[in-house]
Structure 1
């Protein structure tokens, strides 16, 4: 009986517990639904805020009108492109404004009015020249080309009144390449005359311009001569010229030698060698010397060597072993002392090398020979030479063994001195 009672109580508790669980489950479901709805409402609010922020940012970014460029041949005044602000336009001298002088940035972020432009003013449109003169239009002014009995007068339209817009005329002097009429501007009744570059007003006569002789005026200027050789005055300027055999350099002042040998502007024959000199050229032909008891053969275009001597031919063995020929081109009045040429022994066979200068008084007047090291001698120019001139010098190099001569070698140097110093 007791067991049945406990069993009944157990089932009753189960029934009560099951109902409570269902109530709890319903309560949780309701809370969950409310929570989800709250999340949905929150997301809508966030999206709305983001949308409004984006619109405000877009509005802030696009709160100015597009940038306006200044018209061609004109300027724009004002840098602000915000709503309600104005920009203004002005044209350069010689041009007139076409369109509005100012434009305003509107609420629609567009500019009011039409695009502005600057149009060229033709001062000759009103035919201002008198006495049959021809009007020549230029930027912001004009001038009249008149007959020979009148002087050309110019007018600056931007600086004159309508009463003085017409060009005036005055009797003119005879014109030519070195005399030209001046360009005059009438401003408020006052005449101002100017000349073209290279011309100057002729004394008290302000209507005539004479050529400036730059060659005479700047002959010995602080910056040196205009031209290193010759200056030629031209109408309104000058030019530099060079002597025959030279070209004017790129700077227009100096002279550069023409290499007639490289450019084949010479008349040398096939058996001759072309030597370029300053301002000219020389055709040379090397022939081996003729010395008694010795014969020579050409081993290169500029070198002759002695043929072998017989054992009993003492005179042959005492003759020079070789002759070499060298040609130098120098300018006039070359500064001295100066090394002009060096002679060296490639493989000396003796214990001593001796260098000496051969030739007469002329050679010794301008040259000397010095030793620069144990195996090298050098030909020195000891005094300047005024060109044009041709100088010759012979340098002898002797090899000795215990003061006994072993060989002699002759170097002939020919120096062509130009007429000019450049």
Structure 2
């Protein structure tokens, strides 16, 4: 049969340690100077244990005492006169035993003789108790020192001899003795310090005071003045009687002030140049006094503090007297007889200050109200431009005596009248500002589209679908077909089943059928279709129509969905004898893909022919 199908599809698109020693010689004994001779406590005895400090003091046993130590011997031995060495009480028996020990029949163990024991004991082993040299004298250790050192009182320790202070040096007068460890050195003065300096005990060059050492060359009428590294000779100035030398100048001596005059009672001393005179005193009037020359001069009661002006009054001296006046800003109260403050603000209302007058003790002060500042003249008030101090978070307008804050577009002024808060247009908008998503930004808002499959329209509010199939931004293989959907794309493969051949990109036709029964049940033609709708499509919606083309009188069709409608989202309806339709009669809430087979059986002239429409139905999200 060569008839074709009439097919019409409907789609909606609006929809981050060693040991540290205190001495150079670690084996030296404790100095005598370090021990208190009067110490008599057990604590001191234990602290200075000579037996423990010097292990070689005694031959056998050492017993420590408060000031020294004692040696003791083992039983069968006696202590020699050196108070340190022990020998057997019966030396002959000891020698006999020693001889027996040499016999071959006696076991190898033998005892040493006294002579052998004394020979084995060396009190100077390891330098003994000496810090420098140790010698054995009569079986005892005797300490000595190297040249330039002397043995201390403890008999063990050596200390350096200061030849420079002990008088053992032989330096000449023009040389200085410098002590060294175990020796000394003579250094010439001219080699150590410059002329005018001398080497002191600390080996520092210090200035020589030629005036004190009398090594200067000043004459009898000259005075020696020491300088650093030398001296100066200054000529002496002799002053006449009645004068004294001060700062190199002869000045007059005031005998009247120093009271070295001889004027009697009733006479006034008057100083003269180099001497003085005695003048008879004269009587002066009240308020005057006689000076050193016998003249009557005015007494300044104000300066002398002998006036009787009250508190807050000013004393003015007058010849022979004084006057008491009130300070500026005060007036005299005759009743209370004191100076009281004058309230200038009350006395001259509206004449002193432009705005506010405040009385102060003895004066007044002008001030201004808020929004104004006192002018340079201290009287008038000038408007303050508060906007210079940035009181507003955004815009500020200065007005007379005050200011006003304003906000930019996209902000509103908070109740404090200073702070501007951003307006969230996305949450406060009545209508939909953006088709997909509104993003609030400081002072405005922006519209955004889904991250994939959409681009922003030129109006900045709506999103338009990107046709990946047209732009080539899909990832379909060469054997697949790209189909664009809202917000994405699908890669589709069209394969024909066995016993079918592909006649176009979307159509397969049956090659043959083995028998009549299969020819009626196997589809003559399989055609692929793609439909795309949005989740907000109005239900029920006719999405596909199918029928023979051309149609003839007497044709009759049967429409069904044999596969892909297991959940019952779709249904079919026969519109007339040769036209059928497919409906979406359940709302799809989320984006989803369907593949349904729509089968049409055509009864024409007593024969059934089957046609199959394999339809991809893509349900996408609402348009942006």
TM-score of the aligned structures, taking structure 1 as reference length: 0.53
On the 8 A contact 1:233/1:239 being kept in 2, the answer is: yes
Contact 1:389 1:416 in 2 (8 A): yes
Cross-structure match for 1:158:
none
More helix by share: 1
* Higher RCO (Cα < 8 Å, 6 or more apart): 2
CA offsets 1:145-188 (integer angstroms, 9 cap, x no match): xxxxxxxxxxxxxxxxx95595633366xxxxxxx822111122
Structure 1 residues 279 and 340: alpha-carbon distance in aligned structure 2, compared to 1, 3 A threshold: same
Q: Distance in 2 between matches of 1:374 and 1:318?
A: 20
Q: Distance in 2 between matches of 1:400 and 1:189?
A: 99
User: Which residue in 2 is equivalent to 1:168?
Assistant: 387
Which of 487, 511, 522 is the equivalent residue of 1:279? 487
C-alpha distance in 2, partners of 1:388/1:271? 26
Measured against aligned partners, the alpha-carbon deviations of 1:198-218 in whole angstroms (never above 9, x if no partner) come to 1111321x2321211111222
Figure out how many residues of one structure are paired with residues of the other and give that number. 243
Cα pair 2:520 2:610 within 8 Å, conserved? no
Describe the SS at the equivalent of 1:412. Answer: strand
Partner of residue 198 from structure 1, selected from 383, 394, 410: 410
1:421 Cα shift?
5.1
CA deviations over 1:221-278 (Å, ceiling 9, x no partner): 1xx2222221101111001111121122233222211111111110111111100011
Distance in 1 of aligned mates of 2:589 and 2:471? 28
Q: 1:212 aligns with which of 414, 423, 426?
A: 423
Which residue is equivalent to 2:504? 300
Match 1:228 to one of 396, 411, 435:
435
- For residues 375-414 of structure 1, the aligned pairs below 5 Å read 375-401=578-604, 404-414=606-616
Give the 4+ runs in structure 1 shifted more than 6 A: none
* SS of residue matched to 1:215: helix
Cα separation, partners in 2 of 1:343 and 1:284, compared to 1, 3 Å: same
> Quick check: 1:320–1:408 contact (8 Å CA) kept in 2?
yes
- Unaligned 5+ residue runs, structure 1? 1-161, 173-179
Q: Do 2:387 and 2:403's aligned partners in 1 also have CA atoms closer than 8 Å?
A: no
- Paired residue secondary structure (2:568): helix
**Separation (CA, whole Å) in 2 of partners of 1:268 and 1:399:** 37
> Is 1:368 matched up with 2:571?
yes
Candidates 338, 347, 364, aligned match of 2:541: 338
Partners of 2:572 and 2:581 within 8 A in 1:
yes
**8 A contact 1:357–1:393 mirrored in 2:** no
Deviation at 1:313, TM superposition (A): 6.1
Pair 1:237-2:451 in alignment: no
Q: 1:270 to 1:395 in 2, by over 3 A?
A: same
Partner of 1:270: 478
1:181 to 393, 401, 406: 393
- Report the CA distance shift for 1:317/1:381 in structure 2 as closer, same or farther (over 3 A): closer
Cα RMSD of the aligned pairs, angstroms, is: 2.6
Q: Write out per-residue CA displacement over residues 304-331 of structure 1, whole angstroms, 9 at most, x where no aligned residue.
A: 0001335x46425531101111111111
Cα 1:362–1:203 change in 2 (3 A) is: farther
Q: What is the TM-score of this pair, normalised by structure 2?
A: 0.36
User: Does the CA contact (< 8 Å) of 2:526 and 2:613 recur in 1?
Assistant: yes
Identify if the C-alpha distance between structure 1 residues 350 and 285 changes in structure 2 by more than 3 Å, giving closer, same or farther. farther
Secondary structure of 1:181's partner? coil
> Does the CA contact (< 8 Å) of 1:350 and 1:400 recur in 2?
no
- Report the alpha carbon displacement of residue 364 of structure 1 after superposing the two structures with TM: 6.4
| 318 and 365 in structure 1: CA distance in 2 versus 1, 3 angstrom threshold | closer
Find the residue that maps to 1:345 and give its secondary structure.
Answer: strand
SS at match of 2:590: coil
| Structure 2 gaps, min length 5 | 1-380
Alpha carbons 1:329, 1:417 under 8 Å: kept: yes
Instruction: Confirm whether residue 326 of structure 1 aligns to residue 529 of structure 2.
Output: yes
Does structure 2 retain, via aligned residues, the 8 Å contact 1:246–1:255? yes
Change (3 A) 1:363 1:346: farther
- 2:599 corresponds to 1:419: no
